[in-house]
């Protein structure tokens, strides 16, 4: 078995070549300092915006280099993915003129299917979970004589992702830490390999959702192991088992892997939107989530977080914004029992309005058997300038004889 250091030096070597080949097909994405996130993490924070990359994620880097390398041997390429790898391979196939088949699970969202088709790929829907989808992709590759492009456990794919590190070295004279999300480990392995070769003093940290801690568990076991992931907003980081090549590189070069909770991911997406005017998907916001929620030893350092992608389902954003506003004390839902008599609700709404609360929803139940006699249950959702206002509204309602509480 080849060891992690040898694999990494090979990835770094290929990554130098990848840079030459792919740079005319991709964006050199911005690297920007953030005063807000620096303050929140006691570190000088820079963010690398790969959400602004072609196809909306860094994945296109690895796909382009891999497809370039095999383009003369095969007539077409196949990939199994419902996410950013699908779009990356579809884009790369189009650039290098290869037929492309993307196999997606039957549950894939319409927006992802349409985006992939828009790059000219043939989309096949098959399987309920990734493993089933992958089996179908393998079969198609065999039948048609196409190359199957792995999403992470491939030295060329890692080398493509590693081109981000060359950009960082050009964009910033000196930095201490790079933080990256981990799905199957291709991104972090590429980054770690290049940085180890070019700037070995830089520390690399990996982040994964607590719902899918496959790398952390594998490192504890000393070998890649299967986990059963729970649902997470960072769907790009859901993999049952880390790659065997990526595991070797991570074990050798990555300084630590930390977990982030769903609330921390949602909060980071919200903050990126509100403060940075930047749209990140769950996986894309994971690095920042770890940096601003005190998960990493970065105080006093210059740290770079990779915002790896921005392809979030728009129906999720609405819920994330509501949760974010609620966490920031700008949106409240209160409930209470109110005597079922004319004028009561009006008084309550007047109290809320007098504190500049703006009501956006009311629920009123007077029929439930569980209610105290002659009472109605009222739940009111409203926007407020800040958390203190919610407390003031609750206490004024109490003074007027209404017992209300915060509900969710
Ligand atoms: C936006 C985003 N970030 C991070 C990752 C994880 O990358 P890797 O599987 O190379 O670890 C993915 C994987 O699909 C992704 O789509």
CATH number at residue 335: 3.30.70.260
Atom of ligand 1 nearest to the CA of 239: 9
304 has a pLDDT exceeding 80: yes
Strands of the sheet with 302-307, listed across from one edge: 31-33, 44-49, 302-307, 177-181, 203-209, 256-260
Q: What is the pLDDT of residue 128?
A: 82
Helices (H) and strands (E) in the chain, counts: 15, 14
Cβ partners under 8 Å of residue 346, min gap 6: none
End-to-end CA distance of the chain: 53
44 and 67 part of one domain: no
* Span 32-51, pLDDT tens digits: 999 999 999 999 999 999 99
Atom of ligand 1 nearest to the CA of 62: 10
CB atoms near residue 308 (< 10 Å): 30
* Domain stops at, among 148, 169, 202: 148
285 and 394 part of one domain: no
Which residues does a 6 A CB cutoff place in the pocket of ligand 1?
Answer: 57, 59, 83-85, 151-152, 181-187, 236-237, 281, 283-284, 308-309
As for how many domains the chain has, the answer is 3
Between the CA of 251 and the centroid of ligand 1 the distance, in Å, is 18
192 and 289 part of one domain: yes
* Span 318-366, pLDDT tens digits: 888 888 888 888 999 999 999 988 899 999 999 999 999 999 999 998 8
Closest residue CA from atom 13 of ligand 1: 236
Closest residue CA from atom 1 of ligand 1: 309
Closest residue CA from atom 16 of ligand 1: 236
Q: What is the pLDDT of residue 108?
A: 84
Between the CA of 305 and the centroid of ligand 1 the distance, in Å, is 14
Q: What is the pLDDT of residue 323?
A: 83
Q: What is the mean pLDDT of residues 272-280?
A: 95
Between the CA of 181 and the centroid of ligand 1 the distance, in Å, is 7
pLDDT higher for 159 or 132?
159
Between the CA of 145 and the centroid of ligand 1 the distance, in Å, is 27
- In this prediction, residue 1 has a pLDDT band, given cuts at 50, 70 and 90, of low
174 and 119 part of one domain: no
Q: What is the pLDDT of residue 24?
A: 97
* Ligand 1, pocket-test mutation among 187, 250, 279, most atoms within 8 A of CB: 187
* Span 203-227, pLDDT tens digits: 999 999 999 999 999 999 999 999 9
277 and 135 part of one domain: no
Of 26-30, 88-92, 145-149, 338-342, the one with minimum mean pLDDT is: 338-342
Between the CA of 217 and the centroid of ligand 1 the distance, in Å, is 18
Between the CA of 70 and the centroid of ligand 1 the distance, in Å, is 22
Q: How far is CA 142 from CA 9, 116, 162, 194, in A?
A: 32, 22, 29, 33
21 and 85 part of one domain: no
270 and 290 part of one domain: yes
* Span 71-123, pLDDT tens digits: 999 999 999 998 899 999 999 999 999 999 999 988 888 888 998 999 999 99
Q: What is the mean pLDDT of residues 282-298?
A: 97
* Domain stops at, among 116, 132, 148: 148
Exposed e or buried b per residue across 351-378, where buried means at least 16 C-beta atoms within 10 angstroms of its C-beta = bbeeeebeeeeeeeeeeeeeeeeebbbb
Q: What is the pLDDT of residue 353?
A: 96
258 and 398 part of one domain: no
252 and 129 part of one domain: no
- In this prediction, residue 260 has a pLDDT band, given cuts at 50, 70 and 90, of very high
* Domain stops at, among 86, 121, 148: 148
Which CATH number goes with the domain that contains 224?
3.40.50.1100
DSSP 57: B
Between the CA of 72 and the centroid of ligand 1 the distance, in Å, is 27
113 and 51 part of one domain: no
Q: Are 159 and 249 in contact (CB under 8 A)?
A: no
Between the CA of 240 and the centroid of ligand 1 the distance, in Å, is 13
Closest residue CA from atom 6 of ligand 1: 183
232 and 373 part of one domain: no
221 and 91 part of one domain: no
Closest residue CA from atom 15 of ligand 1: 236
Of 131-145, 161-175, 278-292, 319-333, the one with minimum mean pLDDT is: 319-333
Per the structure, the complete domain to which residue 20 belongs is given by 4-58+154-323
Closest by CA position to 333, among listed 377, 373, 296, 374? 377
Between the CA of 284 and the centroid of ligand 1 the distance, in Å, is 8
Q: What is the mean pLDDT of residues 268-295?
A: 96
Residue 12: phi and psi, rounded to 5, are -60, -40
Percentage of the chain exceeding pLDDT 90: 84
Of 194-198, 273-277, 404-408, the one with minimum mean pLDDT is: 404-408
Q: What is the pLDDT of residue 329?
A: 87
Between the CA of 339 and the centroid of ligand 1 the distance, in Å, is 54
Q: What is the pLDDT of residue 315?
A: 82
Closest residue CA from atom 14 of ligand 1: 236
Between the CA of 283 and the centroid of ligand 1 the distance, in Å, is 7
Q: What is the pLDDT of residue 322?
A: 86
* Ligand 1, pocket-test mutation among 156, 309, 310, 312, most atoms within 8 A of CB: 309
* Ligand 1, pocket-test mutation among 237, 285, 312, most atoms within 8 A of CB: 237
Atom of ligand 1 nearest to the CA of 85: 14
């Amino acid at each position: 078995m080849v060891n992690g250091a040898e694999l990494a030096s090979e990835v770094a070597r290929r990554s130098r070549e990848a840079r030459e080949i792919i740079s005319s097909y991709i964006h050199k994405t911005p690297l920007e300092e953030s005063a807000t996130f620096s303050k929140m993490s006691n570190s000088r924070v820079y963010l690398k915006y790969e959400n602004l990359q072609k196809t909306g994620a860094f994945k296109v880097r690895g796909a382009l280099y891999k497809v370039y390398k095999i383009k003369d041997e095969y007539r077409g390429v196949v990939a199994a993915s419902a996410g950013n790898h699908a779009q990356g391979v579809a884009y790369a196939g189009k650039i290098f003129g290869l037929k492309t088949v993307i196999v997606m699970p039957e549950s894939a969202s319409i927006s992802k299917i349409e985006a992939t088709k828009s790059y000219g790929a043939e989309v096949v829907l098959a399987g309920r979970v990734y493993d089933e989808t992958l089996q179908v992709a393998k079969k198609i590759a065999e039948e048609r004589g196409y190359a199957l492009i792995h999403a992470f456990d491939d030295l060329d794919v890692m080398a493509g992702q590693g081109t981000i590190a060359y950009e960082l070295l050009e964009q910033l004279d000196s930095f201490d830490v790079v933080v990256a999300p981990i799905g199957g480990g291709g991104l972090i392995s590429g980054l770690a390999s290049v940085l180890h070769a070019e700037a070995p003093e830089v520390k690399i940290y990996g982040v994964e959702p607590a719902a899918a801690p496959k790398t952390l568990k594998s490192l504890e076991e000393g070998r890649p192991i299967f986990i059963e992931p729970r649902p997470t907003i960072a769907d790009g980081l859901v993999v049952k088992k880390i790659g065997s090549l990526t595991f070797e590189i991570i074990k050798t070069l990555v300084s630590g892997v930390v977990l982030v909770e769903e609330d921390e991911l949602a909060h980071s997406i919200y903050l990126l939107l509100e403060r940075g005017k930047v749209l990140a998907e769950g996986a894309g916001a994971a690095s920042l989530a770890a940096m601003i929620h005190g998960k990493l030893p970065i105080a006093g350092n210059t740290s770079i977080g990779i915002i790896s992608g921005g392809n979030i389902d728009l129906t999720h954003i609405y819920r994330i914004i509501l949760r974010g506003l609620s966490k920031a004390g700008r949106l409240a839902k209160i409930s209470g029992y109110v005597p079922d008599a004319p004028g009561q609700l009006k008084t309550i709404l007047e109290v809320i309005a007098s504190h500049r609360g703006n009501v956006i929803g009311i629920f009123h139940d007077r029929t439930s058997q569980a209610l105290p006699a002659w009472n109605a249950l009222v739940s009111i959702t409203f926007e407020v300038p800040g958390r203190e206002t919610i407390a003031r509204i609750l206490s004024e309602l109490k003074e007027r004889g209404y017992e209300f509480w915060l509900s969710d």
